[in-house]
């Protein structure tokens, strides 16, 4: 036997074995590290990226679809509005112009509520949403069961002049609102935030400034509208996002579900 050749074969064999064992070790270590990453909670991931959020609602765990239909305004209702010139468009939209501009302090919830109750049909059913400074428009949405309905068919636009006086408005409204009998589990608020994070809508250092449950009109039938429970999430006090509370998908401005 040629001992020199045998020794060389053993050395090569042990080197190959060492390389194999080293490879196996690295694979196992990487796998373990990946498992740790996968086990990291969404709260920990957000914290690691400096993403903060307000206290989240935890008491709401179930909700139901709501059905309704566009309200048909009548001439009798319009006649009860004083100091206005009002027209009805296609039975479903009011366009009003105030004979004399009316002071509107929309930043004061009490004053706005008073204005709505006095000058708008069923004004008590609307709440402030935002002010568009470019068009000088106060945007209000209809509410149901204490929740906002984010829908073009439940919207009130009040146009103001440079002195914050209401000069005209457009109004739509949903009527005969009813909850479906069957309630379903909803996606927790933190899961809705996780969806935004994983889709890249939350960046390091962002803050979620508001989280509330409302309704969004996703399904439109000829005579009725189906409203879906929806999480409304505001980021950095200016970016609005809507998450389907049943399926956890993001809804865009046109009411379409994003993948």
**Which DSSP symbol is given to 245?**
T
Q: Check which CATH number belongs to the domain holding 144 and give it.
A: 3.30.310.160
Backbone angles phi, psi at 79, to 5 degrees: -65, -25
Tally the domains of the chain: 3
In whole angstroms, what is the distance from residue 122 CA to residue 174 CA? 11
Domain boundary among 150, 177, 204: 177
From first to last of its 259 residues, the chain has per-residue pLDDT tens of: 455 555 555 455 545 545 554 555 455 555 555 444 456 889 999 999 999 999 999 888 899 999 999 999 999 999 999 999 999 998 899 999 999 999 999 999 999 999 999 999 999 999 999 999 999 999 999 999 999 999 999 999 999 999 999 999 999 999 999 999 899 999 999 999 999 999 999 999 999 999 999 999 876 655 688 999 999 999 999 999 999 999 999 997 544 444 4
In whole angstroms, what is the distance from residue 49 CA to residue 5 CA? 58
In whole angstroms, what is the distance from residue 150 CA to residue 116 CA? 18
Domain boundary among 153, 177, 201: 177
Domain interval for residue 244 = 48-65+180-251
Query: Quick one: 8 and 32 in the same domain?
Result: yes
Check: CB of residue 87 under 8 Å from CB of residue 77: no
Query: Quick one: 147 and 184 in the same domain?
Result: no
Query: Quick one: 157 and 80 in the same domain?
Result: yes
Query: Quick one: 166 and 241 in the same domain?
Result: no
Q: Burial level of 169, CB count in 10 A (0-12/13-18/19+)?
A: buried
Q: Burial level of 92, CB count in 10 A (0-12/13-18/19+)?
A: middle
The reported pTM is 0.79
Query: Quick one: 58 and 121 in the same domain?
Result: no
Query: Quick one: 108 and 231 in the same domain?
Result: no
Query: Quick one: 81 and 168 in the same domain?
Result: yes
Q: Check which CATH number belongs to the domain holding 197 and give it.
A: 2.40.128.690
Residue 257 lies inside a defined structural domain of this protein: no
Check: CB of residue 150 under 8 Å from CB of residue 144: no
The helix or strand, by DSSP H or E, that contains position 37, with its residue range, turns out to be helix 3-39
Q: Which residues contact 73 (CB under 8 A, 6 or more apart)?
A: 88, 91, 92, 93, 94, 121, 173
């Amino acid at each position: 036997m040629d001992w020199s050749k045998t020794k060389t074969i053993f050395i090569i064999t042990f080197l190959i074995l060492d390389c194999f064992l080293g490879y196996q070790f690295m694979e196992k270590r990487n796998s373990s590290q990946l498992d740790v990453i996968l086990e990291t909670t969404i709260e920990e991931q957000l914290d690691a990226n400096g993403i903060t959020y307000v206290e989240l609602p935890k008491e709401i765990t179930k909700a139901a679809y709501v059905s309704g239909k566009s309200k048909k305004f009548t001439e009798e209702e319009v006649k009860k509005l004083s100091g206005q010139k009002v027209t009805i468009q296609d039975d479903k939209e009011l366009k009003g112009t105030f004979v004399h501009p009316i002071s509107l302090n929309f930043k004061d919830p009490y004053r706005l509520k008073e204005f709505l109750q006095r000058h708008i049909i069923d004004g008590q059913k609307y709440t402030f949403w935002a002010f568009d400074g470019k068009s000088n428009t106060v945007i209000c949405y209809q509410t149901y069961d204490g929740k906002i309905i984010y829908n073009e068919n439940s919207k009130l636009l009040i146009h103001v002049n440079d002195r914050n006086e209401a000069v005209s408005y457009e109004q739509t409204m949903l009527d005969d609102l009813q909850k479906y009998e069957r309630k379903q589990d909803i996606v927790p608020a933190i899961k809705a935030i996780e969806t935004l994070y994983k889709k890249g809508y939350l960046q390091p250092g962002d803050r979620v400034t508001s989280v509330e449950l409302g309704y969004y009109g996703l399904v439109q039938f000829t005579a009725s509208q189906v409203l879906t429970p929806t999480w409304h999430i505001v980021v950095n006090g200016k970016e609005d996002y809507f998450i389907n509370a049943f399926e956890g998908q993001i809804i865009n401005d046109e009411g379409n579900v994003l993948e």
